Amino acid sequence: MNSRTIPVRLESNDLRDVDLLVNLGVFNSRSEALRELIRLGVRNLSDVADVALALKRLFELEEAEGDIPLKLPGATKHLLAERDRFP
């Protein structure tokens, strides 16, 4: 495994919850708990990343074509209103 050490700041409540999982034996250490919890979070958010990338590509096409090449009544207006929320 190619792992790296990174500093992380956690709120007291979150650290308490991690410690509880360690004390209950769910994980052997804070490090193991944080690795697995981050892995699960990233997996659960992969759909969000896919949607954000698709929207980015859609807006790139709009910029290149001068129009969105997809017509969805009502949805296009909503997408245009929301697009500034994505980097």
Q: Looking at residue 34, what is its pLDDT?
A: 96
Nearby residues of 33 by Cβ (< 8 Å), 6 or more positions away: 18, 21, 22, 26, 27
Which among 1, 70, 74, 8 has a CA at the least distance from the CA of 38? 8
Instruction: Check: CB of residue 67 under 8 Å from CB of residue 58.
Output: no
Q: Looking at residue 31, what is its pLDDT?
A: 95
Q: Looking at residue 19, what is its pLDDT?
A: 97
Q: Looking at residue 21, what is its pLDDT?
A: 96
Q: Looking at residue 84, what is its pLDDT?
A: 63
- H runs (alpha helix) in 1-87: 12-23, 30-65, 75-82
Q: Looking at residue 59, what is its pLDDT?
A: 80
Name the pTM for this structure.
0.56
> Which parts of the chain have pLDDT scores under 50?
none
Q: Looking at residue 38, what is its pLDDT?
A: 94
